[in-house]
């Protein structure tokens, strides 16, 4: 992220998802910038908010 809190251009990518956070099923399909679970029919996105390392 930049100092203003905005994501830097060219640094966005779709993170791999291994299971649905709602039902736990693994049958996921990429859809519109997110993921669609074919089991519970929910669509969700995943965002990295930090790494747990404090910056000075």
Structural domains in the chain, sorted by start: 14-47 (2.20.25)
Does the CA dihedral 24-26-27-33 come out positive or negative?
A: positive
| pLDDT of residue 6 exceeding 90 | no
- The answer to whether 21 and 42 have CB atoms below 8 angstroms apart is no
pTM value is 0.61
| pLDDT recorded at residue 10 | 52
Q: Per-residue pLDDT tens for 23-55?
A: 999 999 999 889 999 999 999 998 878 777 776
Give the model's confidence band at 22: pLDDT under 50 very low, under 70 low, under 90 confident, else very high: very high
Alpha carbon distance 39, 12 (integer Å): 27
């Amino acid at each position: 992220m930049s100092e203003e809190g905005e994501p830097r251009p060219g640094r966005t990518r779709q993170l791999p998802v291994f299971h649905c956070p709602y039902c736990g099923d693994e049958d996921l399909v990429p859809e519109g910038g997110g993921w669609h679970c074919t089991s519970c029919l929910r669509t969700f996105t995943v965002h990295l908010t930090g790494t747990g390392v404090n910056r000075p």
